[in-house]
């Protein structure tokens, strides 16, 4: 693989190792997907990588949603987060279907459209949607720490 177009950084950290590990894996698969498209790999290879990205995202989203319930994240925010996850999965299918233009029965690759989408999809979701629950987890941990400190 060549240079990553999406690189993990401290700014994306949630404070929950399992979530961070899953986000890192999503970055890795997204980078592979973009590389497949940029290099003009066979459609089957591209589809397999996209399929990995979707399956992993769906698994991650389920785990994340379960965590939100476990930490007492407000129900209305959980529902909104779930709806956003559903929208992201739908959008990634749409990107795959529209990533090609058909010209004289040839497929012309459009990697920049995919790159822009994946960047927005991952980075903006983590920095906006997920960031809110990161704060909630930090607040819950602080409350628990204070309660433990008072009881000692």
Q: What CA–CA distance (Å, rounded) separates 77 from 134? A: 13
Handedness of CA 24, 59, 115, 32 (dihedral sign): positive
Whole-angstrom CA distances from 13 to 9, 16, 17, 91, 134 are 7, 8, 8, 24, 9
Tokens of 66: 């379960």
Return the residue matching tokens 């000692």: 152
Between residues 96 and 103, the one the model is more confident about: 96
> Do 57 and 92 meet the contact criterion of CB atoms below 8 Å apart?
yes
Q: What CA–CA distance (Å, rounded) separates 87 from 117? A: 13
pLDDT of 150 above 70: no
pTM of the model: 0.83
**pLDDT tens-digit series, residues 48-101:** 998 999 999 999 999 999 999 999 999 999 999 999 999 998 988 777 776 666
pLDDT of 126 above 60: yes
């Amino acid at each position: 693989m060549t240079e990553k177009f999406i690189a993990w950084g401290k700014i994306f950290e949630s404070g929950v190792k399992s979530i961070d590990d899953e986000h890192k894996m999503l970055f890795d698969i997204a980078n592979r997907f973009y590389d497949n498209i940029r290099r003009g790999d066979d459609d089957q290879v591209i589809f397999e990588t996209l399929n990995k990205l979707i399956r992993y995202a769906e698994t991650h989203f389920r785990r994340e949603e379960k965590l939100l319930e476990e930490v007492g994240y407000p129900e209305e925010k959980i529902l909104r987060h779930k709806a956003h996850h559903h929208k992201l999965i739908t959008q990634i299918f749409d990107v795959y279907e529209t990533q090609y233009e058909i010209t004289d029965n040839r497929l012309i690759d459009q990697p920049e459209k995919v790159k822009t989408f994946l960047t927005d999809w991952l980075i903006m979701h983590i920095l906006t949607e997920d960031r809110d629950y990161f704060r909630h987890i930090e607040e819950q941990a602080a409350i628990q720490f204070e309660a433990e400190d008072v009881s000692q």
